Amino acid sequence: MAQVTIALNGREYSIGCGPGEEARIRDLARAVDTRIRKFGPQAGQTGETRLLVMMLLTMADELSDAKGGIANGHSPEAFAESVAALAKRIETVADRLEGAK
């Protein structure tokens, strides 16, 4: 099994992966790290674990919406509306977090 070191939110993690998958894992980690860093300021002073959980739930929600739209034959316009609705939900969560400070 191959090993790759990734960085998420300033912390390094050693991850096992299949041979030849190292570059893909690094690319995915960079994408996740970018999203965490964008999401972080909206979350305010929350702990790292909470921040990662919120980020993972957001990504899982996006993936679920995307899979549901594709599986149900929705149009690109319907998918765009789903993404816009998701963005609104994220803004609502961010607003609640800001109010909880």
Q: Has residue 86 got a pLDDT over 70?
A: yes
Q: What residues does each domain of the chain span? A: 2-99
Over residues 28-35, the mean pLDDT reads 86
Cα 35-79-57 angle, rounded to 5 deg: 35
Residue bearing the bigger pLDDT, 72 or 24: 24
Look up tokens 């998420």; give the residue.
8
Separation CA 43–CA 95 (nearest Å): 9
Question: For the chain, what is the mean pLDDT?
Answer: 76
Collapsing DSSP to helix, strand or coil, 96 comes out as helix
Residue bearing the bigger pLDDT, 2 or 75: 2
pTM: 0.56
